[in-house]
């Protein structure tokens, strides 16, 4: 998809290595194919608002950052709820489409579905162009 993926946690690089070998490598052959960064002291987590000071850990956060280093999407979840990788892929495709075309993608948009062309003529008339049953 032409994106760069990084994972960061307050765990050490040694913990990441063991987690890759003993856990992730059993779910995904070879483990996850992207770098895992040790965020000792939570500096990265603090910058993104996911560092839990009392526990000394980064909580789960996902951030889509565009080529201009602008955060376009953020999702923060507590550990007991897993993330939806399909939704992450959909959002990456939508942001890439928006950046390439200038069109906007309505709720639940997937490649091949109708998009909207922003402008004053669309104001108050989205309902004519897009219906909730078109999502997903």
Q: How confident is the model at residue 106 (pLDDT cuts 50, 70, 90)?
A: very high
Q: Domain ranges in the chain?
A: 1-83, 84-136
What is the CATH architecture assignment of 1-83? Answer: 3-Layer(aba) Sandwich (3.40)
Output the pLDDT for position 136: 73
Of 92, 133, 89, 88, the residue nearest 114 (C-alpha): 133
Average pLDDT over residues 5-22: 93
- What's the predicted TM-score (pTM) here? 0.84
Residues with Cβ within 8 Å of 58's Cβ and at least 6 positions away in sequence, in order, are 8, 9, 10, 39, 42, 44, 45, 50, 51, 52
17-73: per-residue pLDDT in tens? 999 999 999 999 988 899 999 999 999 999 999 999 999 999 999 999 999 999 999
The residues with which 77 forms a beta bridge, in sequence order, are: 60
For residue 85, give Cα distances in angstroms to 7, 66, 78, 124.
Answer: 14, 18, 16, 33
Output the pLDDT for position 78: 86
- Round to the nearest angstrom and report the end-to-end CA distance of the chain: 20
């Amino acid at each position: 998809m032409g994106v760069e993926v990084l994972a960061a946690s307050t765990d050490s690089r040694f913990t990441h290595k063991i987690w890759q070998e003993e856990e992730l490598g059993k779910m995904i052959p070879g483990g996850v194919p992207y770098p895992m960064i040790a965020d000792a002291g939570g500096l990265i987590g603090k910058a993104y608002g996911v560092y839990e000071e009392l526990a000394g850990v980064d909580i789960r956060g996902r951030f889509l950052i565009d080529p201009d280093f602008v955060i376009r999407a953020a999702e923060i979840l507590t550990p007991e709820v897993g993330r939806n990788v399909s939704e992450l892929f959909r959002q990456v495709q939508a942001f890439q489409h928006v950046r390439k075309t200038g069109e906007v993608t309505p709720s639940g948009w997937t490649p091949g579905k109708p998009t909207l062309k922003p402008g004053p003529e669309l104001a108050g008339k989205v309902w004519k162009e897009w219906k909730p049953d078109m999502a997903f």
